[in-house]
Structures are given as C-alpha cells and as structure tokens.
Chains A and B, each alone.
Chain A
Amino acid sequence: MSEIVEILASASLWIAMVRIASPLIFATLGELICERAGVLNLGIEGIMVAGAFSGWLAAYAGMGLWPAVAVACLTGMGFGLLHAGLTVLFGLSQHVVGIGITLLATSSSYFAYRVALPEVASPPKIEAFQNWPVPVLSQITLIGPAFFDQTPMTYLAFGLAGLVSWLLARTPLGLALRAVGENPAAVDAQGLSVAWLRSGAVIAGSGLMAMGGAFLTLSAFNSFFFGMVNGRGWICIALVVFGAWRPGKALAGALLFAGFDALQIRLQQTTLGADLPYQIFLMLPYLLSILALVLSSRRASVPAALMRPFRKGER
C-alpha cells in the first residue's frame, strides 16, 4: 500500500500523465470536431501514423520542428480531404471509408519509410522538442513540473482544447458546425452548405489527428518506428464518447486515461506487479475505457445526425 502512495506522490507520475495525454488530446479534439459535424472518422488511427511519419520525415530531412508539425498537419488534412470527398460528397459508408483510410495511411507511411530507408537496423533519431519550463509556475510542487515543464507541443494541445471549446460553443461557425451534426436539413434550409461545413470539419479534424501523431515522433520518442501509434487512435474514439462530445470533458478523459496508463507502468514494478502478469496492467486502460463507455452510455448527447450522409432533397 505504501508503495502506491509513494507512486502517487512522485512528480514523475504526473509528468508522465500529461505527456501521455498530449497526443490523445490533439487526436481526440480532431475526432470530436468531425463527429460534432456528423461524420465518424475511423481514419484516425492511420492518420496518426501518417502524421507521426511525415512529421518525422520532414524533421529528418532538415526542416525545423515547427515546419515539421505543419507538414504533419497538412498530410492529415490531405487524408481528411479524401475522407470528406468519399463520405460527404459521395455519401459512402463512414465505417468503410474510415477503415480504408486507416489502412491506406498506415501502409503508405510504412511503404514510404521502407523506400526512403531500405536497410536500417535502428530507426534514425532526430533532435526533438525540448522542455520549455514556464517561469515561476513550474516551481509549484507536483502541478508545476507536470503541467508547466513540458514541451511546447503539450502547451499547444491544451491551448487547442480551449480554442476548440470556445469555437464550438461561442462562435457562429461553431453553431453551424454543431447544427450540421444535429439537423443538416435545417442548416441547408438556412442557405448554408452542409457539404462545405462537414468537409471543413473533417479536414481540420484530420489535421489535428496528424498533429497528435507528430507529437509521438517530434516530442515523445524522437524517431519513427512501426506500430508506434498502437491503438491510440481507437482510444481517442472512446474518449470522444466518454467526453460526451464536449472538448473540456474529453480533455479530462484524456488526462484520466493517461493517468491510469502512467500508473499501470509503475505498478508493474511494485510487489503487486511481481505477483501478477504484466499483461493484466496493460489491459487496464482498455478495460477502463469500456467501463467508462458503459457508465456514460445513458447520456443522450450523441450528435443526432452522426453517420447519416446528407443528400439534398432526400429525406
């Protein structure tokens, strides 16, 4: 028991929590924007891989780190454009297109990596983002190092959560986006273009997902390797549901999930971890995600037109 208290009192747990949450925040916000506009984007897992790869490749080719983030974002937007074209313009099944895009984005990243670097044993490293401690605030016990001594991309993630929240709740554009996910026919009757609004949301959201992927290579691991996204995209889809399609709650969900993830790694090294197989600990985040979905399922906050293609003139 004292071991667990010791873990909870250590700054490293809370630092790890915020670091693990950062890519999830980017991608969860991206998915949330898509879903609020009525489009389920199952391309998220692959778009994160493409973002991780393209961001890393740009930095490896000698670009600066921020331009590399922009490259990742643009790559994601490209896949978002494809997704929007197929699901919004042609009204194809969002499940199928999303899975197709995950497969396409993942395999094209791996293919391009292998073409660019045919024979490398260990993945080449890049100079990743360094921590930017915020003066004064980073000195606070526990909270300081966790929230105010991170890389600039983490600050960007939290800033974006605030921005998306404000955008959705307080601006005419946000109102139109939310309306297009609830009742596209009404938006159409207002003279606004459902297709443009939804496409814009999917493209912007996909850009954010790719930035989440780029966090992994440019801020967390400083190199690219196969399988590095490892289901994070799917977790983000669960986080959107858990967060009841609200940016603030989704951010809290991402921190909660990341906290458990950081905790389970540390629990493996305790006496408890010596008795239990390590797979039990690795399972915990997934089991908790399912439990959270079950507990939050009764709230009827799902966008009413989610997964419903809109065809003008059809009812």
Chain B
Amino acid sequence: MRLEPIAAPGFARRVLPPLVALGATTLAGAALARFAGADAFAALGLIAKGALGTKFALMETLNRATPLIFAGLSVAVAFRARLWNIGAEAQLYAGALVTVLLGTGILPLPSPLLIPVLALAAILAGAVLLIVPAMLKLRLGVDEVVTTLLVNFIMLLIVSMLLEGPLKDPMGMGWPKSAPLVHEARLPRILPGLRLHWGFGLAVIAAFAVWIIDRRTVAGFEMRAVGAGEAAARFAGIRVPRVVLRTAALSGGLAALAGFSEVAGLKGNLTLDLSPGYGYTGIVVAMLAALNPFGVVLAALFVAAVFVGADSMSRAAGVPTYIADMLLAFALLAMVLALTMTRYRLRRA
C-alpha cells in the first residue's frame, strides 16, 4: 500500500476526514467510560455538562484554556519554522519565576506600569531559555528535541530549589511556595464577580498578534519559508540562523506568558504544581489546530473543556480522570491522520 497525493481535493475530501476523527474520538470516549463500568453516553453528557453546563464551569474552562492558548501558540510558532521546541513547560516556569521574583514587592510601581514590566520580563526569560538550545542547534548541530526536553527537568528542579530556599514564603507554614504577588501585580478580572481574569484576554490578543506576524509581516513569511525548506530559504537570501533565533525568542516568550498569566492572573503565587504539564499539552493543542493561531484558541478551548469536564464527570460517575488524557492522545493521532487523508489517498502498491 502507498499514499497517493490528490491533485484537487473536493469539499467532501477536505471536510469528511476531520469529522470522522472527531466522531471516532467521541466513540472512543464512550467505549472507555463503558470499560470503566459507567453508562457510556451518560458519562459523555456529564463531561459536556461539567465543562459548559454552568456559569462557574464555563469560567473554569476558559481559565484552564488560558495557559493552553499561550503554550499552543508557542509550539505552533516554533513547529512552523521546524524548530522542535518540546520545552514549553520549562519556559512557562521561567516566566512564572521571573513574575514572582519581580512581582513580590521589589518594584514599587503602580499597576499600569508593573504588569507590563512583569510580562516583558517573563517574555525575556522564556526567550533566553529557548535561544540557548537554538544556538546549540545552529552552532554545533545539537538536536533541540533532546535539549529542550532535558531543560524541562532541570527547570523544575531549579524552581523546587528556589521554593525551598530563597523564594520560600516565610508566612507559608513550611509549604514550598513563594510569597504572594503584591496587589498591583495581579491581573484584574474581566468582569466583576466572575472568576475569569485578563490572562484569557491577553491570550486571545496574543493569538491575533501571532496571526498578524505570520500572515502580514516579512518576519512571519521568513519563518514559514524556513519551515517549508531551509535550503530553498537560504537560496532566496533569507538569513536562516537569524530567523531561527527570532522564532525561538517568540516561541519561548509566548510559553513564558502562560506562566506569567497563571501566577499574576489565577494563583497569585508560585508553587511546584503550577502547571500540570501545560507545556506538553501545548503540543497537542498546536497539532490539533494544524499550527494555525486561531485554531490554537479553539483547540485550547476544546482541550480545556475535556479536562474540566472529565474532572467533574469523574467525581460523579467514578471514571478515572485519565480518560481526558487518553481522549486527547486519541484525538491528536486521529486528527493528524485525518489531516493527511484530506490530501492523500491510500492505494494498493
């Protein structure tokens, strides 16, 4: 068997495979719930209700989507230029760390100044953290998949060390957590009375910004050109190393904003469980979105809904919460396969 490209895929060709993938994911969810001894379709209903059914659930889903949008954008930007950044988790913590370092009282600034300063400092930290592996790749040919992955482990240990050492909250009853941010450093809520914070707004703005950079600027064109083919890009006069470093700065900065927004918008301090793997889930989000910035927003909402809904369903129906991760993995594999099937057909050799 072999794949054969389809010259001009029709409407059905472009729409059916992704729909089949979504349907198959839903069926897989039902089968898993059944396997765990619950009523299959009742469990799926509980997931939907738990994610979107009440105002509180909806706000929870939007809040959960916020770091996923940033992480998904970070991965999408990098993967488009074929910079395999698997280190969004570390960049997220770098952003969170800087936010806490500068946001707990060192800078006596009013809110309208302090918040942008913290965000920029976080971006800078995340950018540096990815520029180093990018430099190693450019100068020495060190594979960035491995280096960025390993940096995730190192970064978590650094955070753990600081939270048990110099950053430990003296009022924290011995828990390894940082002191709370000063009031001026906190992101306000979008609507009074609702738990949704401005981190979500910032994430949506970031998606627009990435779209504009991607489609309307020379820098974005160069990034896509490098992703499409390095040799051709070089031949066209694009300075590939510079583009790779610029991509690294943008990608690392976006991931760091996830950490900034979680600390300044949601939690108010830094703990070692700030992120339950948002950096890794960002890869799933970016791929589900086919690396499209607006797609990232939708995919992050979908993924957040699955997580929040599965948490709530798990409490009600007794199906383990790991069903959420399984469904996402299934959706990821089914969707990349479906996207290929919109352009190719399988033929006997």
Known: A104-B333, A234-B149. A92 touches B340 (CB 8 A): yes
Q: Give the distance to chain B from A125, nearest Cβ to Cβ, in Å.
A: 22
Contact between B146 and A90, CB atoms less than 8 A apart:
no
- A176 on the B face (CB < 8 A): no
Residues of A within 8 A of B221 (CB): none
**Across-interface contacts of A106 in B (CB, < 8 A):** 325
Q: A107-B326, A115-B36, A115-B320 are in contact. Are A96 and B287 (CB under 8 A)?
A: yes
Instruction: Decide yes or no: A107 and B329 within 8 Å by CB, A114-B322, A286-B150, A294-B136 being known contacts.
Output: yes
Interface size class of B (residues with CB under 8 A): 35 or more
Q: Using Cβ atoms and an 8 Å threshold, which residues of chain B touch A108?
A: 322, 326, 329
B216 touches A (CB below 8 Å): no
Inter-subunit contact B146/A241 (CB<8 Å): yes
Q: Which of A95-133 contact B (CB under 8 A)?
A: 95-97, 99-101, 103-104, 106-108, 110-111, 114-115, 118
Residue among A107, A289, A293 with the highest chain B CB neighbour number at 10 A:
A107
Q: B140 contacts which of A115, A118, A238, A294 (Cβ < 8 Å)?
A: A294
A311 & B333 in contact (Cβ 8 Å cutoff) = no
Interface residues on A, range: 35 or more
Residue of B3, B86, B325, B329 with most partner-chain A CB within 10 A: B329
Tell me, yes or no, whether A63 is within 8 Å of chain B by CB.
no
**Chain A residues closer than 8 Å to B145, beta-carbon distance:** 40, 42, 95, 237
CA separation between A186 and B128, bound complex, in Å?
Answer: 42
As a 0/1 sequence over residues 3 to 17 of chain B, the CB contacts with chain A under 8 angstroms (1 = contact) are 100000000000000
B328 surroundings in chain A (CB, below 8 A): 103, 107
In residues 210-254 of chain B, which contact A (Cβ within 8 Å)? Answer: none
Q: Interface stretch among B99-107, B159-167, B188-196?
A: B159-167
Q: Is A287 an interface residue (CB 8 A)?
A: yes
Q: In the complex, what distance in Å separates the CA atom of A172 from the CA atom of B300?
A: 48
Query: Quick check: B140 and A297 within 8 Å, CB to CB?
Result: yes
Query: How far, in whole Å, are A89 and B349 apart by their CA atoms in the complex?
Result: 12
Please give, as numbers and ranges, the residues of chain A lying within 8 Å of B1 by CB-CB distance: 89
Residue pair A92, B336 in contact (C-beta under 8 Å): yes
Q: Is A315 at the interface (CB under 8 A from chain B)?
A: no
Taking a contact as CB atoms under 8 Å apart, the answer to whether B157 and A114 are in contact is no
Asked if B302 is at the interface of the complex by the 8 Å CB criterion, the answer is no
Please list 29 pairs of residues, one from A and one from B, whose beta carbons are closer than 8 Å in the complex, sorted by A's number: A86-B337, A90-B340, A92-B336, A92-B337, A95-B145, A96-B336, A97-B333, A99-B86, A100-B287, A100-B332, A100-B336, A101-B329, A103-B284, A110-B320, A111-B320, A111-B323, A111-B326, A234-B150, A277-B161, A277-B164, A277-B165, A279-B160, A280-B161, A282-B157, A287-B154, A297-B140, A297-B141, A298-B141, A312-B349
Residues of A within 8 A of B (CB): 40, 42, 82, 86, 89-93, 95-97, 99-101, 103-104, 106-108, 110-111, 114-115, 118, 231, 234-235, 237-238, 241, 277, 279-280, 282-283, 286-287, 289-290, 293-294, 297-298, 311-313
Given A96-B287, A293-B143, 9 extra CB contacts under 8 A: A92-B337, A92-B340, A100-B329, A115-B36, A231-B153, A234-B153, A277-B164, A280-B161, A293-B146
